[in-house]
Amino acid sequence: MSPSPPASKHDLGDGMAKVQQAIAEANVPPSIRIQYGGQYEEQQKSFKDLAFVLLLAIVLVFIVLLFEFGNFAAPIAVLASALLSTCGVFLALVVTGTTFNLSSFMGLIMVIASSPRMASCCSTPTRSSREAFRRRKA
């Protein structure tokens, strides 16, 4: 059995901010190195890994869209709209008072990863209509 602190209304980020503020106010000499571990260290490691996954998702989605559409304009437009929708994600977090955590990060990656499907569904009828119009015109 491992001991754990009583449940509180504070999250890890708030707790670490208080700890870092207390250490900054303590005037610790520069010769002493402070290293944070435990859940905070794991969270920071996970955030770095997820940031890499997010960047990789953006690049791979761009490549898939580039092959699907055959030009640069459509993939850039789709990714721009997906990246702009992440502003909505952050706005929703602020409005609800929710912190940016691992679940939020996963949702952000899912927003980017779902953009090729949305682009394909939205562009297929447009392309079909354009091709039908060209056939009728010819």
Q: How many domains does the chain have?
A: 1
**Do the domain assignments include residue 99?**
yes
d(CA 105, CA 99): 11
Domain that holds residue 117: 12-26+36-137
pTM recorded for the entire structure: 0.66
CA distances, 116 to each of 78, 107, 123, 137 (Å): 8, 16, 10, 31
- Which of 37, 46, 28, 39 lies closest to 109, judged by CA? 46
Please write the tens of the pLDDT for every residue from 116-137.
Answer: 776 666 655 555 555 666 666 6
The distance of Cα 62 from the centroid of its chain, to the nearest Å, equals 16
**Do the domain assignments include residue 3?**
no
Please write the tens of the pLDDT for every residue from 38-87.
Answer: 888 888 898 899 899 989 988 988 898 888 888 888 888 888 888 888 88
d(CA 77, CA 122): 13
